[in-house]
Amino acid sequence: MKMKLANLAVALSFGIAAAAASAQDAKPGDAAAGQKKADMCIGCHGIPGYQASFPEVYKVPKIAGQNGKYIAAALAGYKKGERKHPSMRGIAGSLSDQDMADLAAYFEQLGKSDGEQARPADASTPPADVAKLLAQANCASCHGANFSTPIDPSYPKLAGQYSDYLYAALRAYQTDHNAVMGRSNAIMMGMARPFKHAEIKALAQYISALPGDLKTVAQSRFR
């Protein structure tokens, strides 16, 4: 079982890294340029607690402070249809690789003070039932023991993310054969599918309660 999980982790590493590399074929991202392109993003991601309504009601994810390579890879996934969400696909479909790189660079540094370093999160001891689920999924092998220091920047930071978003995202990996919802990453699908919804919710609640770097930076004034 451990060997199987290790193989899954390695395959996930290559798969996500390849997606990130494809999205970053353009020049390195320019945060200043990304700020000028972020108008379409801040209407949801610039409002703390803003909720999406499709395919269910949940808070849109915190992306300020997220790894830039992951943001670029996620946008590329929406553009290609590997991540299915009508609004996000419409937005991502309008972006070039350079746009994605610039936006990723902007949101990665958003909310950090000058010279501020990413603050490591100390993962609290999970309840026994959650610890068992974490071990089964082998989450820490990619996202880090504290869920805020992934082994590769093309993986997302998870600590402190909204629990209802984490729950919706994991459920998306359980969704097949749906034209407008679901995510088709084979490794994440294999990880998520064995879990019941109540188990996914327990995982999401634990990870969301951990301290981390993710935040929503209020941006009420549209440029």
DSSP string, 15-32: HHHHHHHHHT-SSPP-HH
Model pTM? 0.83
- Distance between CA atoms of residues 99 and 209, nearest Å: 32
Q: Does 72 have pLDDT greater than 60?
A: yes
pLDDT at 203: 97
Q: What is the mean pLDDT of residues 182-201?
A: 92
- Distance between CA atoms of residues 12 and 30, nearest Å: 27
- Distance between CA atoms of residues 92 and 90, nearest Å: 6
Give the helix/strand (H/E) hosting 105: helix 97-109
Question: What does each C-alpha distance from 203 to 106, 208, 213 come to in angstroms?
Answer: 29, 9, 19
Q: Does 87 have pLDDT greater than 90?
A: yes
User: Tell me, which fold does domain 2-208 have in CATH?
Assistant: Cytochrome Bc1 Complex; Chain D, domain 2 (1.10.760)
pLDDT at 5: 45
Encoded tokens for 218? 């209020």
Domain extent listing, the chain: 2-208
- CB within 8 Å of 77: residues ≥ 6 apart: 19, 83, 183, 185
